[in-house]
Amino acid sequence: MENIIKSLEEKFNISEVIKKSDNLNILTVDKKLAMSLIIYLKEIEKFSHLVMLSAVDWLEDGKFQLSYILNNPEKKIDLIIRVFISREKPEMESIHKIWVHAATDQRELKEMYGIEFPESPRLNDDFLLEGWDNIPPMRRDFDTLKYSEETFFPRPGRQTYETKEYMKEKMYPDEKNSKNKKGLKDA
């Protein structure tokens, strides 16, 4: 793995390498070089399997992190290619021509984060959120409490409990009775 990493650092201007284990490393690369690196890894280094594509919202930094998790089944090693893109205009080149199933991951990231992948098939079709008209729900600036309060009505007969006391009572129902019998106060 170390030889592969050294070679990649020379060819692709890797800005950060994080070794997670002997068979897993995280490489951070500039958005402009990401596609070339991914193609190189598949064709030359035999990282033939795209495990998944995921996103993280770094709201405070004004960017999204895309993580391409690639596997080399022959060597039993994994690489995570990490790319940062702007939240202002979140857009990344599509990899669906490299791995057809990536279109599904990209479609989900479009719906959940609002990240565009130009030329990706069916990108704007509803995925899970049919008829959704709010900001993408996985963005950290989406207010789930406000959305729930505005969308769902309170059900009659529903009670609200103080979580700690409720769980204590449910998990240890006899503890309250035995303490009261002994004349001890509840904790």
DSSP string covering 163-174, please?
Answer: HHHHHHHHH-HH
The amino acid at 122: R
Tell me if 27 is assigned to some domain. Answer: yes
Tell me if 187 is assigned to some domain. Answer: no
Tell me if 145 is assigned to some domain. Answer: yes
Phi and psi torsions of 170, nearest 5°? -70, -40
Tell me if 48 is assigned to some domain. Answer: yes
Q: What pLDDT sits at residue 187? A: 46
Q: What pLDDT sits at residue 149? A: 85
**Cα dihedral 58, 61, 63, 67 sign:** negative
Q: Which residues of the chain have pLDDT under 50?
A: 181, 187
Q: What is the CATH number of the domain that holds 90?
A: 3.30.460.80
Tell me if 33 is assigned to some domain. Answer: yes
Structural domain harbouring 51: 2-181
The pTM is what? 0.81
Can you tell me the distance from the alpha carbon of 121 to that of 100, in angstroms, rounded to the nearest whole number? 10
Span 52-77, pLDDT tens digits: 999 999 999 999 999 999 999 999 99
Tell me if 186 is assigned to some domain. Answer: no
Q: What pLDDT sits at residue 182? A: 52
CB atoms within 10 A of CB 112: 19
CB atoms within 10 A of CB 42: 18
Domain count across the chain: 1
Q: What pLDDT sits at residue 15? A: 94
Tell me if 97 is assigned to some domain. Answer: yes
Neighbouring-strand partners of residue 63: 58, 86
Can you tell me the distance from the alpha carbon of 107 to that of 164, in angstroms, rounded to the nearest whole number? 40
